């Protein structure tokens, strides 16, 4: 247990990845709840419980270890999705990050990969990477990634934006197409679809981390651990722009009304962005790293420095562009919610934290106002799932489309079940909607080899008419799959009536996986 005398933020940093297609409804601020129709208890409870469980497991298995670091460059895995905004930064600053030996490559994203290798005293361990692009997937699928750094304008869609109806490149300035406008403009790559793109980029990151760990991760990280933490109310920060001028990065307070005419002060603060509701890009990250490095080195106590940004840590504040990028008002600039001087406010605050560490005066830092935990005025506009129904003369879990008798590695096994709405399954931590099982002839038992968390499986739920749903499970048989007898199972719950949920499961026929269809 963490000592009651210590604040949680003195012991734990929640630094994660992000996805464009995970569950929503857990962030308590109105601006973010609007997009997902409100706060959802079913979303936040599994997340909180899972995080606490992970911390508990880590704490109970803690043991002495060592840390090694390695640096490298990861190419062909990302591009800048708003190069027009990036080009609005000063040319002299951009030139510092241009690869002079590759005139074609303008380095408008960070290609740096920092690998930290954590091992126990026997040398067994894991690798963690920073500065890598995270999302290959649309909001219709789930995805995972490495830890995030300054990736606000970074995209893994390396083929770039093209018009889906013509295949031609989108308009450079406004990301639109001659026919269909912005709706027809989409970015893709490097694979033929989201699955292949994720696999390609994930494998590239994995190989970079693997090689770095096995070959070059020999520089050990040692020394004392320093920590400086401070809560900041970004609506109440005065930015010192120069010796004589200051700027307010946001409005004085957010008024109760969601919709209304913003005050002249608010409009001036956010100009040139139009405001609907009163509610980090590559270069921003570079400036922040430089600022922190300068402050730490200014006192002479820190010399050999590697400044790393873990972008999504402890709380989410949306995009942070440079003042110059904000003026262009592409997506990142328009989503910088605290105004054009947001980055200046961050630089100012992080310089203060770094200075406190360098001068050994962290204890003098004010704690700052802790973020509120909202328990009232949380809304949910998403209706509860309706009662589940099934076709006549069927039961939940029955197979609607059966598997074939024989498959080979590389084939796709597909089976469709009568299903309930997955939302009616509640908290499925430590559970699964899908298993792929192989028969063990020695013990006459079935062994689970894949679940819905496996890369080789796909779980598709289709909401049919009259509340009748079906679920299709696909298993992409890997090349290394051993020959044998297999089956696929689906698990779920159906809603019989209000507040009454019942479990069900379905099982496919047994099928064979073999290298050849000709067997005895």
Please give the domain boundaries of the chain with CATH numbers for all domains. 264-364 (no CATH), 398-513 (2.60.40.2300)
- Cβ neighbours for 396, distance < 8 A, ≥ 6 positions apart: 388, 390, 418, 419, 420, 492, 494, 504, 506
User: DSSP class of residue 233?
Assistant: -
Higher pLDDT, 316 or 366: 366
Helix (H) / strand (E) containing 419:
strand 412-419
Using 50, 70 and 90 to split pLDDT, how confident is the model at 151? low
What is residue 375's predicted lDDT score, i.e. its pLDDT? 80
- Cβ neighbours for 407, distance < 8 A, ≥ 6 positions apart: 413, 477, 511, 512, 513, 514
For CA atoms 70, 76, 82, 84, give the dihedral sign. positive
Q: pLDDT for 155-172, tens place per residue?
A: 666 777 889 889 898 887
Q: pLDDT for 418-433, tens place per residue?
A: 999 999 998 888 899 9
Ramachandran angles phi, psi of 228, nearest 5°: -135, 120
Q: pLDDT for 63-107, tens place per residue?
A: 999 988 887 776 666 666 677 777 778 888 787 777 644 433 446
pLDDT at 275 over 60: no
pLDDT at 507 over 70: yes
**Nearest-angstrom CA–CA distance, 296 and 302:** 6
Q: Provide the residue count of the chain.
A: 520
Helix (H) / strand (E) containing 230:
none
- Cβ neighbours for 435, distance < 8 A, ≥ 6 positions apart: 448, 450, 451, 488, 489, 491
Nearest to 448 by CA among 438, 462, 461: 438
Please report, for residues 9, 231, 286, the alpha-carbon distance to residue 5 in angstroms, rounded to integers and kept in the order given: 12, 18, 36
What is residue 128's predicted lDDT score, i.e. its pLDDT? 66
Q: pLDDT for 36-61, tens place per residue?
A: 888 888 888 888 888 889 889 988 99
Residues tagged active-site: 155
The two three-digit tokens of residue 344, written as one number: 């200046």
What is residue 484's predicted lDDT score, i.e. its pLDDT? 96
Q: Which of 103-107, 179-183, 217-221 has the lowest mean pLDDT?
A: 103-107
What is residue 278's predicted lDDT score, i.e. its pLDDT? 38
Query: Mean per-residue pLDDT for 2-18?
Result: 65
Query: Mean per-residue pLDDT for 208-213?
Result: 68
What is residue 487's predicted lDDT score, i.e. its pLDDT? 98
Q: pLDDT for 456-494, tens place per residue?
A: 999 999 998 899 999 999 999 999 999 999 999 999 999
Q: Which of 198-212, 216-230, 242-256 has the lowest mean pLDDT?
A: 242-256
**Nearest-angstrom CA–CA distance, 56 and 1:** 9
Higher pLDDT, 84 or 177: 177
Please report, for residues 286, 325, 351, 353, the alpha-carbon distance to residue 292 in angstroms, rounded to integers and kept in the order given: 10, 21, 6, 8
**Nearest-angstrom CA–CA distance, 194 and 79:** 16
| Cβ atoms of 349 and 237 closer than 8 Å | yes
Q: First CA to last CA across the chain, in angstroms?
A: 60
Nearest to 464 by CA among 416, 509, 513: 416
**Average per-residue pLDDT in the chain?**
80
Q: Which of 106-110, 186-190, 333-337, 396-400 has the lowest mean pLDDT?
A: 106-110
What is the DSSP secondary-structure string of 459-486?
Answer: EEEEE-GGG-EEEEEEEE--TTPPSEEE
The two three-digit tokens of residue 371, written as one number: 């973020």
pLDDT at 212 over 80: no
Percent of the chain topping pLDDT 70: 78
| Cβ atoms of 369 and 233 closer than 8 Å | yes
User: DSSP class of residue 380?
Assistant: B
pLDDT at 183 over 70: yes
The two three-digit tokens of residue 32, written as one number: 């973010």
What is residue 301's predicted lDDT score, i.e. its pLDDT? 80
Residue 162 annotated as binding?
no
Identify whether 272 is preceded by a cis peptide bond (ω within 30 of 0).
yes
Using 50, 70 and 90 to split pLDDT, how confident is the model at 5? very low
Higher pLDDT, 353 or 199: 353
**Nearest-angstrom CA–CA distance, 148 and 309:** 8
Q: Which of 27-36, 276-285, 302-311 has the lowest mean pLDDT?
A: 276-285
Residue 319 annotated as binding?
yes
**Nearest-angstrom CA–CA distance, 46 and 19:** 17
The whole model's pTM is what? 0.75
Q: pLDDT for 302-331, tens place per residue?
A: 887 888 887 778 777 778 888 888 888 877
102-106, 260-264, 292-296, 423-427: which is most confident: 292-296
Query: Mean per-residue pLDDT for 240-265?
Result: 53
Report CA Rg, the chain. 26
What is residue 251's predicted lDDT score, i.e. its pLDDT? 39
SS3 53: helix
């Amino acid at each position: 247990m963490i000592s009651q005398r210590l604040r949680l933020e003195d012991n734990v940093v929640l630094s994660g990845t992000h996805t464009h297609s995970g569950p929503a409804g857990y962030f308590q601020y109105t601006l973010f709840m609007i997009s997902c129709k409100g706060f959802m208890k079913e979303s936040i409870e599994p997340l909180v419980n899972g995080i606490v469980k992970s911390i508990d497991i880590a704490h109970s298995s803690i043991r002495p270890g060592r840390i090694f670091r390695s640096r490298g460059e990861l190419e062909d895995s990302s591009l800048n999705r708003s190069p027009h905004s990036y080009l609005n930064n000063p040319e002299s600053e951009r030139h510092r990050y241009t690869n002079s030996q590759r005139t074609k490559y303008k380095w408008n994203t960070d290609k740096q990969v920092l690998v930290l290798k954590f091992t126990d005293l026997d040398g067994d361990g894991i690798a963690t990477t920073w500065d890598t692009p995270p999302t290959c997937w649309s909001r219709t699928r789930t995805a995972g990634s490495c830890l995030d750094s300054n990736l606000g304008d970074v995209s893994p869609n390396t083929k770039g934006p093209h018009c889906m109806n013509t295949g031609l490149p989108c308009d450079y300035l406004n990301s639109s197409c001659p026919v269909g406008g912005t709706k027809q403009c989409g970015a893709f790559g490097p694979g033929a679809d989201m699955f292949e793109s994720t696999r390609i980029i994930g494998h590239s990151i994995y190989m970079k981390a693997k090689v770095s760990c096995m070959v070059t991760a020999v520089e050990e990280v040692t020394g004392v651990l320093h920590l400086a933490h401070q809560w900041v109310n970004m609506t109440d920060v005065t930015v010192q722009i120069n010796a004589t001028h200051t700027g307010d990065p946001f409005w004085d307070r957010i008024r109760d009304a969601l919709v209304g005419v913003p005050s002249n002060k608010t409009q001036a603060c956010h100009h040139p962005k139009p405001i609907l509701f009163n509610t980090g890009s590559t270069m921003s990250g570079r400036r922040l790293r430089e600022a922190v490095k300068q402050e730490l080195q200014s006192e002479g106590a820190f010399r050999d420095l590697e400044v790393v940004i873990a972008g999504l840590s402890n709380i989410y504040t949306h995009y942070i562009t440079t003042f110059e990028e904000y003026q262009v008002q592409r997506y990142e600039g328009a989503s910088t919610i605290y105004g054009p001087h947001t980055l200046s406010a961050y630089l100012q605050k992080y310089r203060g934290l770094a200075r406190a560490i360098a001068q050994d005066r962290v204890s003098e830092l004010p704690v700052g106002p802790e973020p509120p935990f909202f328990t009232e005025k949380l809304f949910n506009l998403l209706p509860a799932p309706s009662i589940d129904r099934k076709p006549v003369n069927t039961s939940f879990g029955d197979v609607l489309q059966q598997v074939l008798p024989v498959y080979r590695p590389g084939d796709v096994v597909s089976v469709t079940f009568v299903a309930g709405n997955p939302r009616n399954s509640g908290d499925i931590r430590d559970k699964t909607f899908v298993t792929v099982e192989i028969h063990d002839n020695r013990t006459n038992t079935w062994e689970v080899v894949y679940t819905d968390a496996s890369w080789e499986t796909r779980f598709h739920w289709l909401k049919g008419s009259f509340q009748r749903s079906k679920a299709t499970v696909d298993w992409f048989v890997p090349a290394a799959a051993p020959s044998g007898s297999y089956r696929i199972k689906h698990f779920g719950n159906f809603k019989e009536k209000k507040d009454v949920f019942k479990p069900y499961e379905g099982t496919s026929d047994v099928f064979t996986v073999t290298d050849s269809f000709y067997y005895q």
